[in-house]
Amino acid sequence: MKYYSTNGQAPMADLKKAVVKGLAEDRGLYMPERINKLPKAFFDDMPEMKFQDIAYNVASAFFGEDVDLDALKDLVYDTLQFDCPVVKVKENIYALELFHGPTLAFKDVGARFMARLLQYFIRMEGQHEMVNVLVATSGDTGSAVANGFLGVDGIHVYVLYPKGKVSPIQECQFTTLGQNITAIEVDGVFDDCQRLVKSAFMDEELNQRMKLTSANSINVARFLPQAFYYFNAYARMKALGKADQFVMCVPSGNFGNICAALFGHAMGLPVKRFIAANNANDIFYKYLLTGKYEPKPSVQTLANAMDVGDPSNFARIYDLYGKSHERITSLISGATYNDEQIRQTMRQCYDETGYILDPHGACGYQALVDGLQEGEVGVFCETAHPAKFKEKVDEILGIDVEIPDRLAAFMRGEKKSVPMTKDFNDFKKYLKKFGHLK
Ligand SMILES: *Cc1c(COP(=O)(O)O)cnc(C)c1O
């Protein structure tokens, strides 16, 4: 399979190049040249299939030409050692719980998959140059990537995160690991972190000196595996006899997760329509209304993993539908909620149903409450375990959310991070001094 750039000014790449480089030469995002449809029999059989087997079928359609099938199966099974259950919250509204992975984040799947795929390519070449992985995070990406890559030889990971803007629990998930993981605390916002990472990839001198790659959701190996979740959601809903008019609602920030769902749809997944739920960062919502995409600086909200002012994967969605606003709005609608509405939703849902939403999932849940039509059944992604936002959830609901053991273990570690300004020259100096050279 070949991959082209959404900007159309870069040469086609094979999978290995797309994964190792992350971003194309023209700063565009890689897109597969074809999206293979899956056979009808697969959709018929899905309700009886395990998550891992469903995922292996989906993975083969994307990566089967470029990765040995036994290795791919191994990789999928290694990545998915947990479930992603569909839980009924109330009549016609279900939560797809994406937080049962190692760091309780949906990003665990893409992170682990990418780490293993990168390792597969490094090993195949038999080469021993270290690869430097750069990742910008507003919280969840950092912990998922750091844990997905932890101890994978041949790779060193630098996690850039905005100082004081991630929750203490999130922070300790990538600052306490050590080994091949370095946390970099940037005096700025998430968009600054993302800009530093993007600038590093575009910097000729750095690229001559060292192998740099990204683990942000711009990487095809990070975002595509998230399609597994949506096939599993369909399978579980079909088993319940609820899949006929199935609406999928995804709380979105950088739009990697919903983009993977849309790729699933293009592979034949019978979802009737999609809803992208936003917090107060409503750039995509405004695009749906006006046809104009106008990025702006992000604002800080309760759902901080969605505080994105210029969602990277918009370019992929735009490309997927031939840049047609009409095609996009016929399949996808939007919703936007400010912090006060998020609080209200969390309280109302808890009082009515007993289900504890985290602030991100709350946007998804409310978008279904507001947007479901007669006869439709809605599934929203619950993208984070509520304990990851314990301070907020406890305060809003007046409860004491239990911290799962896996999470508590991180909190016992010692925090280590490198302070950094938001000036690219400082970051560059640091990489030249401490990065792994070719
Ligand atoms: C990353 C994240 C999101 C947003 O996902 P995107 O793929 O960036 O749209 C939503 N909720 C949580 C908890 C996240 O960590």
Residue 238 annotated in active site = no
**pLDDT for residue 253:** 95
Q: Is ligand 1 within 6 A of the CB of residue 219?
A: no
Regions of the chain where pLDDT drops below 50 = none
- The atom number, within ligand 1, closest to the CA of 388 reads 13
Tell me which of 109, 254, 258 to substitute to probe ligand 1's pocket, judged by most ligand atoms within 8 Å of the beta carbon.
254
What confidence tens digit (pLDDT) does each residue in 138-171 have? 777 888 999 999 998 889 999 999 999 988 888 9
Q: How far is CA 321 from CA 148, 259, 307, 330, in A?
A: 32, 11, 25, 11
Q: Is ligand 1 within 6 A of the CB of residue 97?
A: no
**pLDDT for residue 105:** 87
Bridge partner residues of 249 (DSSP): 275, 380
Q: Is ligand 1 within 6 A of the CB of residue 359?
A: no
Alpha-carbon gap, residue 317 to 323, rounded angstroms: 8
Q: Is ligand 1 within 6 A of the CB of residue 194?
A: no
**pLDDT for residue 135:** 92
Neighbour-count burial for 324-360, b at 16+ CB within 10 Å, e otherwise: eeeebeeebbbbbbebebbbebbeebbeeeebbbbbb
13-14/2-5 β-pairing? antiparallel
What confidence tens digit (pLDDT) does each residue in 62-110 have? 999 999 999 999 999 999 999 999 999 999 999 999 999 988 889 999 9
What confidence tens digit (pLDDT) does each residue in 261-271 have? 999 999 999 99
Alpha-carbon gap, residue 338 to 344, rounded angstroms: 10
